[in-house]
Each structure stands twice: as structure tokens, then as C-alpha cells.
Structure 1
Amino acid sequence: MLSAGAPEHSVDVLTAPAHLRPWFLCVLARRIGGAQAEHAVRARIQANSYACINVISEGDVEWAGRPLPRVFVAGPFSRSVETVAPGALLSASLVMQPWLLWPLLRVNAESVADGVVPVTLEPRVHQALDAVARTPADHAARTELWTALGQALGAPPPTAPALALDALRSHGLEAAAAACGFSSRQYRRRFQQILGLAPARWLRITRWERAVSQFASTHPHGSLADVSINSGYADQAHMTREIRELTNSTPGQLRNAMLAGKESWSLEPARVRILQDVESARN
């Protein structure tokens, strides 16, 4: 239970251990308590390329005026959405690759995109996520969660379907389709079934996720033009247009929010992904 002295609003980011990173990115353990629990807390979930398994241990979360299920899958999201926690809250969100939804839960990523689907989890995984939601700093709870997830993957664990993502990024849809032995139409359909987003939308969102990793590491008055080029945009105006469409905010507004530590927790998965990629490249 949340105590009177609980932090008003905190999010613990638990990064997945190296051996689970092909499938899972992190867990976001969110707590709302103290004086903040007396008021509704609004949160904006930014457009992202990931799926999340969510467990609400205490309290409620509303989306579009309706309470969300206690256990559900959400995302990926092609646009930003707003949720509301009307009071105290304990929840845990397991951020994962969307293609894993089918082998793990028999849920098609396309059916979850931009929406919510109630699910029943394997009991050990459910209990472990609930424990992390309640006591995210507990080492034993974290260890049990990663162990339970590793067991749930099975042996051998599932592998990512071949979609020639490097070819898609570098040479476009037709090249990626040819690399996979599909027509462009077949590739587009398979891509959306597996990752939940159309290829063009996925490219735009993953490009914006690359920009996120740089927002928190640049000076408040640093060059957004450099960020835009390093993230794959044609120029700063291109980045501003796309990010405004995806998030309803400008790059400057997002960077300032991240540097101030405000309302940026939904951006953590993208930042974690980049850090993991950098770490892998060094090793």
C-alpha cells in the first residue's frame, strides 16, 4: 500500500539485463502518492515503436474517459495519447519488442497498435510485475522478474522475424521487400502485422526516437540543427514538423522538459534503447 510519505510522482526505470535485451528493453515502475494523489495526474504517452505489458497494482488509469484494464497490452503508438490517473497509483509497464507479442501472448501487434488489449499473463510473470510495481528498489523483486521473463520466453527463445530493417532505413521499402523475397505489398502487410505500424510510419517514429536520445545530452542552448542531422532528418525544419506531428510539441519544448526532468518518463524506452545499442557496439 502507498504510505502517506510516499513520493508524489516517481518513475523507476529498470533496464533489462543484457541477456534479455533482444526481447525486452526496460520496466517503468510508476508511483503516485502523497499530496499529489489528491489530484488527477495527466501524462502524455509519446508516439513510440514499442509494445508494453502493463499491470496496475493499485489505483486506476483512464484513457479517453474510460478506466484501463488491470492487466493489458498497449502500443506501439503512431501518435501521442493522454492518460489520467485520478488518484494514488502503483503500476509497472514492461517495454518490449512488438513482434514478441505473438509468440509470448498470441496477440497480433497490428491489433494492439494505437490501442489497448486486455491479456492474461503467465502467473509467475504477473506476480513478478506486481511485486516490482510495489517495490521497484527491491533487488530480489527485480531478479525474480527477469528470471520469470526468461522462463516465459522458452527454449529456444523466439527470434525476430526477418524484415531487412537496415535495407529499409538505407534504401527504402522496395529494397527491403526484395531482400525478404516479398512484393512491396506483401512486405508492407507483413511488416504491419509484426511491428504494428506501417513501414513509413515506423521509420518516422524510430527516427524521432533517435532524436530523443540526444535531447537529454545536449546543452539547453545547444544546436537542434545538429541533432536533426545526426538523427537522420534533412534539416531542423524537417525534424520540427515531424516531431510536432508525432508529439504535439516542438523539439525545444521536449528537450527542455527532459533536461528539467518533467513529464519525460514516457520517453525513457527510446533513451534506454540507444544506450543499449551504444553499449553493444562497444562490446
Structure 2
Amino acid sequence: MFRIDPTPSGELAASLSAARSTLWLPRAALSSCVRAVISRDTRGVNLDEAARYNHFPAAPVCSLVWYFHGEAEILDPHRPAAPDTPGRPLPDRITFCGPFNRPVISRNPGPMHAMMLMLMPDALGQLTGLDPGAFLNRVVPASEVLDASWMALCRAVDEAPDDEARVALMDEFLTPRWRQVRPDAASPVRVYADWSRNLALRASVSGWGRSLRQVERRIKQWTGQPLRELRGMGRSEQAFFEAVVAGRSGEVSWSDVASSSGYADQSHLCRQSRRVTGFPPAELRRRIFADESFWAYRLWGFSESELPD
């Protein structure tokens, strides 16, 4: 995997904290299995209360999350984020998260250091036999769902001396297993839209039935969500990337973003943005460039321009 440390500059750098956020992206051989690895470290950084929140969009991936230092609580998405409305504490220091079809907000009461391994749901099913749909919008202890070999990885990552060593352990564990399960999975998959198209193609040539209904049934079985939902997330991600890139150089034409991302019109883009992120596009863009708690969006969006060819 290769590491990306996007560095904000100018007014953006002045408005954000020194908390460290790092992204690792997989090489081609693992790109249809691993979406990314993300690390967040706020130790030694003075954050105000608002900056202790973490905003994440709805996403089809399943994740393993390690908390090496500190704690987190998951907030009710239907209630406003505020210090007097505590959420549910994570059930363990090492947790398994299913796919989410709604945005997620968490809060760290104090300094923290955590890492997230994001796995494509169909790949996770092939590697573990788990049904991603059974964990939709759920966070559970990893020990309740993973077998001994996966838990050995979890413990090794937990005990590793630094983040680079942790990512190396994940790579070493996953690469031979994924090669054995999917020896043909070598073409790069960098965005959800590419993944959902490949998924639809694979579903159409798998099994006996090839009708649209049978293809969609296979996809939901593999990922836990219908193809329409996955395609919607792919369009939303593309629009997000375009808005972030445009926002770094000037004003954003939302009608142009909607058209180039495959939406029927700007209203369609706004509705989908609210579903996936909880915010309309303009408000989301403003928060990405000004709000510490949207660090995950910023990390993901700014990293897109740093990907190697």
C-alpha cells in the first residue's frame, strides 16, 4: 500500500489543528479488496469540543477499527451533535463495522489514536464467509465475528510499534489470501463507481440466471445493499471529488457537477448529498474547508489529486 499525507496550505492550514490524519491506498492487486486504511492521531493537540467530532459519509465498505489510545462514542444520526447528548460507546477497542447506508457521526471525549481498515463488502464475504447485510449500520466487537486467523491479525496490529508497521501487517495478511480467492482481480479499482460496475458485470456472468432481478439479488447478497444504493454512493463520491477539486481553485458550478456526475439535475444531487452525508452540497463543501470534524472528507478529497497514475 502507498501512503498519502495531503498537507493543507494557506487559509485552510491556518484554520485547522495539527492533528495527524493519514491515508494508505492499496496497490492494484488489492484494490478490489481494500478500499483504504485511515489513521487519525490527536494526541498532543489542543482541540476544542467541536473538533472532537468525526463526520463520515454513508459507505458500502465494512471496516475493522482499532483504538490504540482514547475512546469514541457513536452518536444518534437523528439527534444534533452536542456535549450533553452522549452517544453509544464503542463495544470494544477492536471493532467490526458493517456497511452504512446513512452518514455516521462519532465523538472522542479526549485525545485519541485510531486506525481503520476499509474492506469492500463482497471481498470480505469471500475471505471470511460473513454476510455484510447482517451487519448493515452495526458496530460489534471484532472477536464476535472473526475467526482465529483474523483475530491474530487484529492482535498483531494492536501490538505493532507504529502505523507503518500496522499497514505492512495488513498487506502481508491480505495479499496472499486475496490472490488465492480472486486470482483474476488485478485491474485497479479506485472509486465506488468502478467497483459497482465491475460488481454488476461479475454478477451478470455468475450462476445460472442472468435476468436483471437475479443479478440484483446476487449483488445484494454479496454486499448487503441493492445495486441502486451502491450506484448512488458512486455518483455521490464522484460529485464530492469534483466539488473538492473545484473548490480549491474557485467557485463551484453545482449544475455542472450534477451533470458530470450522472445526476438528473441539481435537485437530484442535493437530495442524494443529504442522504449520503447529511448535508446539501454547498454546506458540505463549506464544512470540508472550515470544520476540523470533517477531516475524513478532507483527507479523502485532497488525496484524490495526489494519486499516482
TM-score strictly above 0.5 = yes
Give distance in 1, aligned partners of 2:229 and 2:299.
18
Contact 1:26 1:272 in 2 (8 A): no
How far 1:233 sits from its partner (Å)?
0.8
User: 1:74 maps to what in 2?
Assistant: 97
State the Cα distance separating 1:272 from its structure 2 match. Answer: 9.0
Gapped regions of structure 2 (runs ≥ 5):
1-16, 76-86, 186-192
Consecutive unaligned residues of structure 1, counting only runs of 5 or more, are: 1-6
Higher deviation after alignment, 44-53 or 263-272: 263-272
Percent pairwise identity? 26
Please name the residue that 2:157 is paired with.
Answer: 129
Within 5 A, what are the aligned runs for 1:259-274?
259-260=289-290, 262-267=292-297, 271=301
User: Which of 196, 208, 214 is residue 242 of structure 2 equivalent to?
Assistant: 214
Amino acid at match of 1:51: C
Q: Name the counterpart of 2:12.
A: none
The two structures have a TM-score, normalised by structure 2, of 0.70
Q: Distance in 1 between matches of 2:156 and 2:177?
A: 12
2-side partners of 1:53 and 1:272: how far apart? 23
What is the RMSD of the two structures over their aligned residues, measured on CA atoms?
A: 3.4
Structure 1 equivalent of residue 261 of structure 2: 231
What is aligned with 1:148? 173
SS of 2:271's equivalent in the other structure is helix
Where do residues 96-115 of structure 1 align in structure 2 (5 Å cutoff)? 96-115=119-138
The 3 A distance-change label for structure 1 pair 177 and 24 is closer
Does 2:79 match 1:57?
no
Matched, 1:12 2:37: no
Mean alpha-carbon deviation: is it higher for 235-244 or for 258-267?
A: 258-267
- Residues 38, 87 of structure 1: 8 Å contact kept: no
Counterparts of 1:43 and 1:214 in 2: how far apart (Å)?
22
* Alpha-carbon distance, 1:131 to partner: 5.7
What do the CA deviations read for 1:146-176 (whole angstroms, capped 9, x no partner)? 222224436354777xxxx98x86xxx9x99
| 1:118-197 → structure 2 map (5 Å cutoff) | 118-120=141-143, 122-130=150-158, 135-136=162-163, 138=164, 140-153=165-178, 155-157=180-182, 181-197=209-225
Match of residue 257 from structure 1: 287
Distance 2:272 2:261 in 1: 12
SS at match of 2:293: coil
Aligned-partner residue type, residue 45 of structure 1: F
User: Match for residue 3 of structure 1?
Assistant: none
1:29 Cα deviation from its structure 2 partner:
0.7
Distance in structure 2 (CA, Å) of the matches to 1:269 and 1:237? 27
Aligned length: 261
Q: 1:203 to 1:63 in 2, by over 3 A?
A: same
**Contact kept in structure 2, 1:240 and 1:251, CA below 8 Å:** yes
> CA 1:60–1:97 in 2, change beyond 3 Å: closer, same or farther?
same
- For 1:179 and 1:206, locate their aligned partners in 2 and report how far apart those are by CA, in whole Å: 22
- Whole-Å Cα distance in 2 between the matches of residues 102 and 31 of structure 1? 30
Residues 188 and 199, structure 1, Cα contact 8 Å, conserved in 2: yes
Alignment of 1:75-94 (within 5 A): 75-94=98-117
Using structure 1 for the length normalisation, give the TM-score: 0.76
